[in-house]
Structure 1
Amino acid sequence: MQGADPAVVRQALDTREPLPGTDGFAGELDGALVRDVLGRYPLFSEADDHTEWSVDPTDLNSPEPVPAGHQRGADGDTRVWTLPNPDPYANDNRAIDAVRSAVIESVDEVGGSPAIAFSGGIDSSILAARLDGPLYVGGFEDSHDVEAARSAAEALDRAVRVVEFSHDDLERAVPEIVRATGRSNPMDVQISLPLYLVAERVAADGHEHLAVGQGADELFGGYAKVSRAPEEERMEAETIRGAIREMIASLPAQLERDVLTLRAAGVEPVAPLLHDRVVETALRLPGDLLVRSGPTDDGDGEVRKVALRQAADFLPDEIRRRDKKAVQYGSLVAREFDRLARQAGFKRRMDDHVGQYIDSLVE
């Protein structure tokens, strides 16, 4: 069993407790396969033989993921856990205190001194402020992420190691990512590339673990589309709290991709902001502690991740106010990958030109 003591998982099965105080888990227990409610650890079995299983899909001929929150046995998949839907905090101060306590406790209990994936935003800065491991940022020269990481590291009185990407790096890494994740669509590949290349350097420097800020955007309202519910066409939810639950439901697929990518590069991810206690606290936040109108550095008149920003009062104000770009854009990987595709003859007028380019690299 990865991620938790089997006794804890067995009790969670007996009580149907979805958040039993772990960082997630996956594996075999009493003859069945189980995966936690957020799918924080990947788990697969053969499509036609569930007794053959692995945490690495490349070990199997026809890997079929175990759905998050399910138990897979001889009779198929059974949902065991569903995310709770608690009432929101009635008092804002109590809510902020709860977020602060959950975040600090979860980060501070991380063992050792893992390297830290550092983009200079609030999520990775929380890790950098409380963990001792070296900071790493990746991107092309003059990318937003590299600039933001350097300025945030200076504000935290930390040094940051820059992993500068090249076109050769992208082309070399794509087949490895596709093989490890089983995904070749442009979005997944472009998100995975910065993670893989940074993790590769981290592993080369002798580190076995990489602390990441995954989950904070989904839990605390970091996406612009969350604030536009119910008008946002990409969301089914009619409220901000409902949109948060919808975003959390997307985590299992994202985490499977990210964990497999990082493992393929040679490191094991550590994601303290996805601990059960953080998830449980985030689910109780009212809408105005997720997204709120107000002045921001980029001038869009909207503050996202309100509760997390207020709770992280141990960070400099300039970091707490920052918004960040998605990793594929902040690192300039998406821009440069599109450029490579066009240089290889896959023009934008072609259908899915970047996808065709990826296929050519894999072939």
Structure 2
Amino acid sequence: MDSADLATVREALDDGDPLPGTRGFAGELADSGERQLVRDVLGRRPCFTEADDPTRWSFDPTDLSDPDPVPAGHVRTAGGDEQVWTLPDPPASDDEDAAIRAVRNAVAASTEAVDTAGLAVAFSGGVDSAILAARLDAPLYVAGFQDSHDVEAARTAADALGRDLTVVELTHDDLERAVPDLARAIGRTNAMDVQIGLPLYLVADRVAADGYDRLAVGQGADELFGGYAKVAKAPEDPRVDAGTVRGARREVLTTLPEQLERDVLALRAAGVDPVAPLLDDRVVEAALPLPGHLLVADPGPDEDRGDAERKVALRRAAAEWLPAKIAERDKKAVQYGSLVARELDRLARQAGYKRRMDDHVTKYVRSLVD
């Protein structure tokens, strides 16, 4: 069993408890008589079987000829898949102070439980990774092209926290070298997944070369705490179907299993295992009851909803550990903040894959893999 002990998973299955106090799990219930494969309710750890033979399985899809991921919250047997856990949907808390205190206590407990032996921190200077930097005694790493937003933000945030920072300055050669290995590891060649995976893979590659085997990441904070513009703009944003901020947050949470599969596989391919304290069950339980205005602040009379403050509760909880200028800082998505998306586009065009071509970056990625 990956990332949890068998007894805890067995008890969670017997009780129907979707959040039994882990950071996710996946694997085989070897003591069950019939072979059963399980994956936690948020899909924080992936596992796979052969599409035509569920008795053959692995944590690494490259071990299989036609890997089929076990769905989050399910048990897979030779007879098929059965959903056994559903993410709780508690009512919105009406006590703002208590809700923020619950988030602070959950984050504190989750980070305190992290073993820092062999650990480094992926640090971009935003509130998510800054919480990890402030709470974990482990070296900080950031990857990006020269003058990228992430590198500059990480430098200023590290200075404010009084921490040293290792900058992994990326080059075009790094991208060309990494793309084939990353694409094969995650089983995807579409431009967006590769652009997101590359900074993770390349920072992890340096971390592993420096002798660390685990990397703390801030994954899950945007989904849990309302970090996306499409959540802030609900119900006007066409990218979500929900009619409220809380509903849009829950809708976004359903995308986590596929995203985490990519991220976990990318990091493992580079030689490190991810540690995601902000996806601890305790943090999930504290985040789910947050009312809409503690996910996205109510906009002012002349303010567009998309410009309103996001991740309100997490920022207020983090104020105990972070300077205000870091706790309140906005951050770009990793593929843009690192400039990886821009430079991969540049390489594609230099190779003859022009923007007038449909999905030109994906075509370029596939050419490198082939």
* Alpha-carbon distance in structure 1 between the residues aligned to 2:265 and 2:337: 22
One-letter amino acid of the counterpart of residue 330, structure 1: G
State yes or no: 1:49 paired with 2:56.
no
Q: Deviation of residue 267 (structure 1)?
A: 0.3
Instruction: Provide the residue aligned with 1:18 in structure 2.
Output: 18
Matches of 1:362 and 1:332 in 2, distance apart? 21
Q: Which AA in structure 1 matches 2:47?
A: L
Indicate how the Cα distance of structure 1 residues 352 and 300 shifts in structure 2: closer, same or farther if over 3 A, else same: closer
Q: What is the rounded CA distance, in whole Å, between the counterparts of 1:45 and 1:5 in structure 2?
A: 21
Cα distance change, pair 301–193 in 1 and its aligned pair in 2 (3 A):
closer
- Find out whether 1:34 has 2:38 as its counterpart: yes
Contact 2:229 2:306 in 1 (8 A): no
1:171-190 aligned at under 5 Å gives the runs 171-190=176-195
Distance in 2 of aligned mates of 1:275 and 1:284: 15
Contact 2:111/2:132, CA 8 A, preserved across alignment: yes
Q: Identify if the C-alpha distance between structure 1 residues 300 and 34 changes in structure 2 by more than 3 Å, giving closer, same or farther.
A: closer
How far off is 1:303 after superposition?
0.5
2:359 paired residue among 330, 348, 352: 352
Q: Deviations over 1:41-100 (max 9, x none)?
A: 110011111111000000111111000000001210000000011111111000010000
**Aligned-partner residue type, residue 43 of structure 2:** G
Residues matched between the structures, number:
360
Aligned counterpart, 1:196: 201
Query: What is the aligned partner in structure 2 of residue 306 from structure 1?
Result: 312
- State yes or no: 1:280 paired with 2:293: no
Of 253, 258, 268, 1:263 maps to 268
Q: Superposition pairs for residues 1-363 of structure 1, below 5 Å?
A: 1-29=1-29, 30=32, 31-113=35-117, 114-293=119-298, 301-313=307-319, 314-363=321-370
Report Cα offsets for 1:11-40 as digits up to 9, x if no partner: 111111111111111001022000000011
Gaps of 5+ in 1: none
Tell me the amino acid that sits aligned with residue 55 of structure 1: F
Q: Identical aligned pairs, as a percentage?
A: 68
Report SS of the residue matched to 1:111. Answer: coil
1:112 Cα deviation from its structure 2 partner: 2.2
Displacement, 1:351? Answer: 1.3
Residue 318 of structure 1: how far off its partner (Å): 0.4
How many Å separate the matches in 1 of 2:116 and 2:349? 44
Structure 2 SS opposite 1:303: coil
Tell whether the 8 Å contact from 1:293 to 1:301 is kept in structure 2 after alignment: no
Q: Cα gap change, 1:292/1:51 in structure 2, threshold over 3 Å: closer, same or farther?
A: same
Please give the TM-score of this superposition, normalised by the length of structure 1. 0.98
- Provide, for residues 269-296 of structure 1, a one-character-per-residue CA deviation record: whole Å limited to 9, x for no partner: 000000011111111000000001468x
Give unmatched runs, 5+ long, in structure 2. Answer: none
Equivalents in 1 of 2:63, 2:160: separation in Å? Answer: 44
> 4+ residue stretches of structure 1 with deviation over 2 A?
none
| Contact kept? 2:49, 2:69, Cα under 8 Å | yes
Q: Distance in 1 between matches of 2:147 and 2:198?
A: 18
The CA distance in 2 between the partners of 1:205 and 1:173, in whole Å, is 18
Matched residues in 1 for 2:213 and 2:160: separation?
27
Using the TM superposition, name which of 3-12 and 156-165 deviates more.
3-12
Q: Distance in 1 between matches of 2:294 and 2:81?
A: 36
SS state at 1:304 partner: coil
Structure 1 CA distance, aligned partners of 2:27 and 2:202?
Answer: 28
| Distance in structure 1 (CA, Å) of the matches to 2:23 and 2:50 | 26
In structure 2, C-alpha distance between the alignment counterparts of 1:209 and 1:168, rounded to whole Å: 25
Distance apart, 1:300 and its partner CA: 6.9
Q: Tell me the distance in 2 between the aligned counterparts of 1:227 and 1:209.
A: 33
Contact 2:223–2:253 (8 Å) recurs in 1: yes
Task: Tell me the C-alpha RMSD between the 2 structures.
Answer: 1.1
